[in-house]
Amino acid sequence: MRKHLTVLVLAVFAFVAVAGTAVARGPQEPGSKANTITGVVVNTADGLAIKATDGKEYLIQGQDLSAMVGKKVTVAGKISQLPSKKVVTVESVKEAK
């Protein structure tokens, strides 16, 4: 009986640990993925954006890149799709050459 109780307690502990990790990460946006984008930081009517080398435009979230307007940068972050625009949540940025 004591062995079964120990196994049950350990199973509950493992479940709580795994569930806690999932909750700590927060919800993931469908379709979002980590990516690297290179382009020029530009001002738009909707705010700062990156005009990528492939011609696409990504609104910037997560970091203030106003000091880099007009400069070519490479950003890493998650891309999500709004109804009419793509958004990059910047995790890191460096000036590109």
- CA 68, 73, 94, 26 dihedral sign is positive
- Contact present, 76 and 91 (Cβ < 8 Å): yes
pTM over 0.75: no
Model confidence band, residue 3 (pLDDT cutoffs 50, 70, 90): confident
Mean of per-residue pLDDT scores for the chain: 81
Mean pLDDT along residues 6-26: 54
CATH class name, domain 33-95: mainly beta
Q: How high is the pLDDT of residue 23?
A: 40
Give the count of alpha carbons within 13 A of 54, CB side only: 5
pLDDT in tens, 21-52: 444 443 444 455 578 999 999 999 999 999 99
Q: What is the pLDDT of residue 19?
A: 54
pLDDT of res. 95 = 95
